[in-house]
Amino acid sequence: MDQIADLLIRIKNASLVGKREVIITFSKMNKAILDILKESKFLTSVEVVQEENRQFLKVVISDSKTPTHFKQISKPGRRVYAKNQEIPKPLRGLGTVIISTSTGITTGKEAFKKGLGGELICEVW
């Protein structure tokens, strides 16, 4: 199962229906992506919740800047990589691209500033 697709679809469906809280399975990749979305003001809070022997992420979606578009770029069957100059700028820079670089998961703007390329994970606006 593709964890990134599951993460994006859960947040998208919750925002379309009007729910503000979503429970997502914990992984380091999911946590890093959610932290970037929180920095971009799409999410209000992200916290780790422990139930019995499993960890979950409790996500609260922002009221002011609700995400409406999620597009997964790299998929398990097809990985998409971009050099520093080739990093896309969705919605003419208003959207956010999440990219996995050699220094970790970051936004496309930060990767461009550092001169890094990597695997394009998703875009959000």
Residue 55 CA from chain centroid, whole number: 19
Strands 54-61 and 43-51: antiparallel
Contact 125, 89 (CB under 8 A): no
Same domain, 38 and 79: no
Q: Are 79 and 119 in contact (CB under 8 A)?
A: yes
* pLDDT tens-digit map of 93-111: 899 999 999 999 999 999 9
Q: Which of 18, 43, 61 is the last residue of a domain?
A: 61
The domain total for the chain is: 2
34 and 81 both lie in a single domain:
no
Residues 75 and 96 in one domain: yes
Q: Give the pLDDT of residue 118.
A: 98
Among the candidates 61, 85, 110, a domain finishes at 61
Q: Which two tokens stand for residue 65?
A: 């800047």
Global pTM value: 0.94
Looking up residue 108, the CATH number of its domain turns out to be 3.30.1490.10
**Would you say residue 66 has pLDDT above 90?**
no
What is d(CA 87, CA 102) in angstroms, rounded to the nearest whole number? 15
Q: Which helix (H) or strand (E) holds 6?
A: helix 3-17
1, pLDDT greater than 80: no
Indicate whether 77 and 49 sit together in one domain: no
Q: How far apart are CA 10 and CA 34, in angstroms?
A: 12
Angle in degrees, CA 94, 37, 97, rounded to 5: 50
- Token pair listed for 59: 């996500």
CATH of the domain at 31: 3.30.1370.30
Domain boundary among 61, 78, 108: 61
Full domain range(s) for residue 117: 70-124
